[in-house]
Amino acid sequence: MDRQILLKNISVPGISSFGPYKSSGGYDSVIKALKEMTPEEIISEIKKSGIRGRGGAGFPMGLKWSFIDKKSTSPKYLVCNADESEPGTFKDRYLMEHLPHLLLEGMIIASYALGAETSYIYVRGEYKYIIGILNRAITEAYSNGFLGKNILGTNYSLDIHVHPGAGAYICGEETALLESLEGKRGNPRIKPPFPALKGLYGSPTVVNNVETLACVGPIIIMGGEAYSTIGLGRSSGTKLISACGNINRPGVYEIELGLSVEDFIYSEKYCGGISNNKKLKAVIPGGSSVPVLPSDLILKTADGKPRLITYESLAEGGFETGTMLGSGGFIVYDEDACMVRNTWNLTRFYHHESCGQCSPCREGTGWMERVLHRIETGEGRWHDLDLLVSIASKIEGNTICPLGDAAAWPVASAIRHFRKEFEFHIANPEIVKDKNHGAIEKYINVRSAV
Amino acid sequence: MSGFKVNHKQYEKEDRKVEFSSGTIQKVRQIISRYPEGRSASALIPVLHIAQEELGGYLSVDVMDYVAGLLGLLPVEVYEVATFYSQFYLEKTGTYVIEVCRTGPCSICGGEKISEFIGEKLNIAVGETTEDGLFTLKEVECLGACGYAPVMQINTEFYECLTTETAGGIIDMLRKKGEKKEGSRWTDKFF
Ligand SMILES: Cc1cc2nc3c(=O)[nH]c(=O)nc-3n(C[C@H](O)[C@H](O)[C@H](O)COP(=O)(O)O)c2cc1C
Ligand code: FES
């Protein structure tokens, strides 16, 4: 379970520079792919590997690549999604900071397989220093013949450019990202047409996450079949999990898919347990957009099986008792957390980040934020919980892009699993008016003791 | 995005020359060349970053109009973009823009205290600039550094795992440095 594929060379000194990277076996996959393999063979290896997108949606990478319209006479584009703005997620930053060449390696092979001669990396504007690191790596790749005209003496040529964003979560959604790359507001497009047919500048385009693309080199070296045996069932390979919140060892960990959530939280190799010897209260395992689960349901499924970090196990139980792997942004809450305050906080995020195109999302996120705020500050009304559930259900599925769903799910799941806390807030305005009221459990204990 | 303000008051042209140096124009050309023929609009976001950094720290109407002319866009196409993205400032800001993360993971690790502490120390509310024009305090959404919470960004730098002591120390250090902003411009990293 401690198989390292992406981060295996992370401690080699100077690994972010070309020299040390190359001498640790870096770029071997590019040589193999460009000199010995056809684009079709590459796509077939990726398909065999079973790898699914690491950006959040989990779509099979090989399948996505095979949708690209090869017959189209327009240029093809590969766009790397480095917008990383989902709260709890900071793994792409880690990869780009330490292993920029691993990303470039994957992008060169992917671009070759897709027939793209220009590719872009869309980096969130806040990652200013990362833009510098990427541009330095790109310059090194050019001067060593891995980018530019006739790479390695083949007749394949490729340019990669870094494109900065400017602060907008929505630009992580792939069609909003393309709009933004075209110099517009980040308003998601209606799909279909999917980017594989009409993407950047109306041309066939593949958008993949940083981590997904970083897996391409290793897959080409070991072969798709071998990669598919790593991990568990349909969750093949390893995954970067960025762990944060109330834990002893926050950070980015590469795990083999199939590791149990319990091991991940409590093992000294990973999160190292809950900080200050507190108890675990809740976890959002896949970035703020996926449903929150209370400690019992995150450690075990509803029918008592250990919960594993795989696409399937985390989703087991559907939205009643399950959640999603999402981007792998693992947010841990200890016993002191107020779930009402946290839900309000995340809803404020979605309200702030809604692009405003679709009324259910634009109005609904703001409405939910206001209702949650009044509950949290002791102004709640009994009818508010039904109102929240109703607003959430009316946003879900009724918007152009999934930001609406992403805003609705955390609210619906928090009320589903922590209803008592919401009710306590409404019933005890005098207690919750103090904004440092924290978790409600302590007040309930006090009351029952009286 | 919610929260932006557009001033619809009668607009008077600024009493200064709003234009890039010839060196910067070269850089803009280089950026435009990264996109296909006829797609210079793609250069808009990077060029607005440069404009904000080189032409006064925020995007005034004159600055936006100038960029529109440079890229062959309608002014409204630039306003649309400038008002959408939270890193573009539409009003004058301090030399140091302190952006404290307020989102979930930072908030449960003490982020709210950091922002309150800085506000009290500088005697300004969130969104305001100190009288000497040195500091602007903002609260922003997740900066993608949640494992190192609480986090703030000041201009180009990330400051992580903050306590009120370290945050206070950083402010003192910057105050000492004053107007002298150190080092090269961050938009140089585009090249
Ligand atoms: C609101 C929203 C935000 C998103 N943010 C990101 C992001 O920051 N990074 C990312 O890789 N994917 C993000 N996605 C998913 C992308 O739309 C897309 O599925 C992904 O980039 C595809 O790459 P993958 O298949 O390699 O995962 C987001 C989706 C939505 C709806
Ligand atoms: S929540 Fe503060 S950096 Fe992500």
Tell me, what's the pLDDT at B179? 80
Q: How many domains does one find in chain B?
A: 2
* Mean residue pLDDT across chain B: 93
Q: Answer whether residue B31 is part of any domain.
A: yes
User: Which residues of chain A does B85 touch, with a Cβ-Cβ cutoff of 8 Å?
Assistant: 125, 165-168, 186
Q: What is the ipTM of this complex?
A: 0.94
Q: What is the mean pLDDT of residues B77-95?
A: 96
pLDDT tens-digit readout, A374-389: 999 999 999 999 999 9
Q: Strand runs (DSSP E) across A293-434, as ranges?
A: 293-294, 329-334
Tell whether the model's pLDDT for residue A427 goes beyond 70: yes
Domain limit, last residue, from B34, B63, B84: B84
pLDDT tens-digit readout, B145-191: 999 999 999 998 999 999 999 999 999 999 999 886 655 688 999 99
Contacts of B96 (CB under 8 A, 6+ apart): B134, B135, B136, B154, B155, B174
Atom of ligand 2 nearest to the CA of B103: 1
User: Exposed/middle/buried for A268, CB within 10 Å: 0-12, 13-18, 19+?
Assistant: exposed
**Residue B112: which CATH number?**
3.40.30.10
Atom of ligand 1 nearest to the CA of A59: 25
Q: What is the mean pLDDT of residues B34-47?
A: 98
Q: What percent of chain B has pLDDT over 70?
A: 92
Q: Is the CB of A55 under 6 A from ligand 1?
A: yes
A442 band by pLDDT with thresholds 50, 70 and 90 = confident
Cα gap A33→A43, rounded to integer Å: 11
Domain limit, last residue, from B31, B49, B84: B84
Q: What is the mean pLDDT of residues B52-59?
A: 94
B164 shares a domain with B110: yes
* Least confident segment among A48-57, A237-246, A440-449, B66-75: A440-449
**Residue B61: which CATH number?**
1.10.10
Q: What is the mean pLDDT of residues A328-334?
A: 98
* Mean residue pLDDT across chain A: 96
B101 shares a domain with B77: no
Q: Answer whether residue B9 is part of any domain.
A: no
User: Which residues of chain B does A244 touch, with a Cβ-Cβ cutoff of 8 Å?
Assistant: 105, 109, 146-147, 149
Tell me, what's the pLDDT at A450? 37
pLDDT tens-digit readout, A338-367: 999 999 999 999 999 999 999 999 999 999
A449 band by pLDDT with thresholds 50, 70 and 90 = very low
> Coil, helix or strand for A440?
coil
Half-sphere exposure of A104 (CA within 13 A, CB side): 33
Cα gap A244→A275, rounded to integer Å: 11
B114 shares a domain with B58: no
B113 shares a domain with B139: yes
Half-sphere exposure of A170 (CA within 13 A, CB side): 33
Ligand at shortest distance from the CA of B143: 2
Q: Answer whether residue B16 is part of any domain.
A: no
Q: Answer whether residue B118 is part of any domain.
A: yes
B107 shares a domain with B75: no
Task: Number of A to B CB contacts under 8 A, please give it.
Answer: 162
Q: What is the mean pLDDT of residues B74-98?
A: 96
Q: Answer whether residue B62 is part of any domain.
A: yes
Q: Are B122 and B133 in contact (CB under 8 A)?
A: no
8 Å CB contact of A353 and B103? no
B108 shares a domain with B166: yes
Domain limit, last residue, from B84, B106, B121: B84
Q: Answer whether residue B52 is part of any domain.
A: yes
B124 shares a domain with B71: no
B49 shares a domain with B110: no
Q: Answer whether residue B26 is part of any domain.
A: yes
Tell me, what's the pLDDT at A70? 85
Tell me, what's the pLDDT at A320? 94
A48 band by pLDDT with thresholds 50, 70 and 90 = very high
Tell me, what's the pLDDT at B183? 58
B126 shares a domain with B77: no
Domains and CATH numbers, chain A: 18-228 (3.40.50.11540), 231-334 (3.10.20.600), 339-440 (1.20.1440.230)
8 Å CB contact of A252 and B147? yes
B100 shares a domain with B173: yes
Residue to mutate, B99, B138, B146, ligand 2, most ligand atoms under 8 Å from C-beta = B146
> How far from chain centre, in Å, is Cα A416?
24
B173 shares a domain with B114: yes
Following DSSP, what letter does each residue of B3-46 receive, concatenated? T-----S-----SS-----HHHHHHHHHHHTTS-TT-GGGGHHH
B67 shares a domain with B122: no
pLDDT tens-digit readout, A110-150: 999 999 999 999 999 999 999 999 999 999 999 999 999 99
pLDDT tens-digit readout, A261-290: 999 999 999 999 999 999 999 999 999 999
Q: Is the CB of A208 under 6 A from ligand 1?
A: yes
What is the span of the domain harbouring residue B32? 22-84
Q: Answer whether residue B188 is part of any domain.
A: no
Which of B48, B80, B189 is opposite residue A135, by nearest beta carbon?
A: B189
Contacts of A279 (CB under 8 A, 6+ apart): A295, A334, A335
Pairing assessment for the beta strands B152-154 and B96-101 based on DSSP bridges: antiparallel
Which of A92, A244, A246 is opposite residue B147, by nearest beta carbon?
A: A244
